[in-house]
Amino acid sequence: MTCCGEKREQWRTQTPDRRANESNAVNGRVVFEYTGGASAVVKGAVTGRGYAFLGYGSRVAVDARDAASLTGLPYLQRVLR
């Protein structure tokens, strides 16, 4: 009979680490940089939260759950840390 510690270790090694999927997520946030001209507000698909980018070069930390929906938008780039 195996102890629960062995089962826990087996589960941990077989379960993908969430942080590996969001390589630049810090505290549940992903930073995006705006490369457009004027300001823009974009809405996260999962949370429905609005993120305001106030001109070229502005950076905003967004909820990691919204990151996938913002990744394909023109003028937005993920900032790798």
Residues 2-52 pLDDT 10s: 555 555 555 444 444 343 344 455 678 999 999 998 999 999 999 999 999
Does 73 map to a domain? yes
Residue with tokens 């809405």: 43
Q: Please, are residues 31 and 24 in contact by the beta-carbon 8 Å criterion?
A: yes
Does 4 map to a domain? no
Indicate the number of domains in the chain. 1
**Residues spanned by the domain of 42:** 21-78
Q: Please, are residues 33 and 59 in contact by the beta-carbon 8 Å criterion?
A: yes
Does 64 map to a domain? yes
Does 13 map to a domain? no
Does 70 map to a domain? yes
Q: Give me 54's structure tokens.
A: 């106030």
pTM passes above 0.85: no
What is the pLDDT, as a whole number, of residue 16?
40
pLDDT tens digits for range 56-75: 999 999 999 999 999 989 99
CA distance 1 to 69: 46
What is the pLDDT, as a whole number, of residue 80?
84
Does 12 map to a domain? no
Does 1 map to a domain? no
Does 9 map to a domain? no
